[in-house]
Amino acid sequence: QDLASLIERFKYVRVLDSNPHTKVISLLGSIDGKDAVVTAEKTHFIFDETVRRPSQSGRSTPVFFHREIDEYSFLNGITDLKELTSNDIYYWGLSVLKQHILHNPTAKINLIWPASQFHIKGYDQQDLHVVRETPEMYRNIVMPFIQEMCTSERMKWVNNILYEGAEDDRVVYKEYSDRNKDDGFVVLPDMKWDGINIDSLYLVAIVYRDDIKSLRDLNPKHRDWLIRLNKKIRTIIPQHYDYNVNPDELRVFLHYQPSYYHFHVHIVNIRHPGVGEERGSGMTILLEDVIEALGFLGPEGYMKKTLTYVIGENHDLWKRGFGEEVEKQLKHDGIATSPEKGAGFN
């Protein structure tokens, strides 16, 4: 099965979401009678060559500029240009650019097939709410949910990467020894990255140890391990990309709730703003902040912390009790949810 033949057989059902800001659209459909989710994202402008020149301030971070020597580069590639309006010193119009599958493809296309209800709901538009997840809520609601989410079927892609050589040709770094399994991890391009443009670099580091499902399982005993992991990530990745991205240009973070409950770290170029939050739900916490917090969180670490984040109504946790908890929390705090219930302060 290759992507092109699957997309050809895709039968459209409805639009799940479309975002003019991120230039992403997600469609629900089916392929051979099974649910499928197609996501398309307009790619960032690509120039033929990225050249580094030392910054004027003498700081180590270089300034990028693009040498436009290629027929597909932005200016040279304009095949059609129509002015809409001008006003004083301002001009705007629309254009068509020459495109090429290797040099400057139009869009990055992701397909999930067969897609489960979890996938579909994850991409579907939904109302969002701020919730405080207390340690009790974690124990009573989240833990049983995580257990159900850790089926071997759902984790297959992770195990394929760790043990079956999947995506092997794209692996950036791998460290593993039987003697020291806990320190082992793999770094490779995330599915979210087009793999071309360093400005939108997005990698994921997946650890071999499987005793940490999420942020919640981290306690001070993990602190040194995380410090080592952070240090390795920030050393290896700039090296691998020939310092086209520097150690202090990487945003290294975790998601909570994650989509997959096997410890992994997101690594993103800071030039790609707000990435990781495009879905609007969950929280993003920098690895550095985690390390810092473990220094004073007490022996049980994140197990004892209340975590405040955004949850969507499509998330399973919403109907498993988070919806009711949000109402209870507002009531407890004395915050009215509508004018009839009496707005204002007492």
Residue 236's SS3 state is helix
Comparison of 77 and 312: residue with beta carbon closer to ligand M7G: 312
Among 251, 255, 272, 315, indicate the residue that binds ligand M7G (CB under 6 A). Answer: 255
Tell the smallest beta-carbon distance from residue 198 to ligand M7G (Å): 17
Tell the smallest beta-carbon distance from residue 8 to ligand M7G (Å): 22
Tokens of 155: 């984790």
Comparison of 115 and 297: residue with beta carbon closer to ligand M7G: 115
Tokens of 97: 């650019």
Q: Which of residues 40-99 bind ligand M7G (CB under 6 A)?
A: none
- Long-range contacts for 224-233 (Cβ within 8 Å, ≥24 apart)? 225/182, 225/183, 226/287, 226/290, 226/291, 226/294, 227/291, 228/183, 229/185, 229/205, 229/265, 229/287, 230/287, 230/288, 230/291, 232/173, 232/175, 232/185, 233/187, 233/205, 233/265, 233/267
3-state helix, strand, coil in the chain (%, to 5): 30, 30, 40
- Cα of first residue to Cα of last residue in the chain, in angstroms, is 64
264 is known as an active-site residue: yes
Comparison of 59 and 170: residue with beta carbon closer to ligand M7G: 170
Q: Is 307 in the site for ligand M7G (CB under 6 A)?
A: no
How many of the chain's residues bind ligand M7G (CB under 6 A)? 14
**E-assigned strand segments in 198-261:** 202-207, 250-256
Please choose, from the candidates 254, 227, 3, 223, the residue with its C-alpha nearest in 3D space to the C-alpha of residue 108.
3
CB-CB contact of 212 with 290 (8 Å): no
**Of 119, 222, 264, 315, which residue is the catalytic one?**
264
Tell the smallest beta-carbon distance from residue 264 to ligand M7G (Å): 6
Tell the smallest beta-carbon distance from residue 81 to ligand M7G (Å): 36
Per-residue contact flags (x/-) with ligand M7G for residues 120 to 159, judged by CB under 6 A: -------------------------------------x--
**Surface-to-core class of residue 105, CB atoms within 10 Å of its CB (0-12 exposed, 13-18 middle, 19+ buried):** middle
Which of 63-71, 95-103, 255-263, 309-317 is the region at the interface with ligand M7G (rule: CB under 6 A)?
255-263
Comparison of 77 and 264: residue with beta carbon closer to ligand M7G: 264
Q: Which of residues 183-212 bind ligand M7G (CB under 6 A)?
A: 188-192, 204
Which of 56-64, 71-79, 82-90, 258-266 is the region at the interface with ligand M7G (rule: CB under 6 A)?
258-266
Q: Return the active site residues.
A: 264
Binding site for ligand M7G (CB under 6 A): 157, 167, 188-192, 204, 255, 258-260, 264, 266
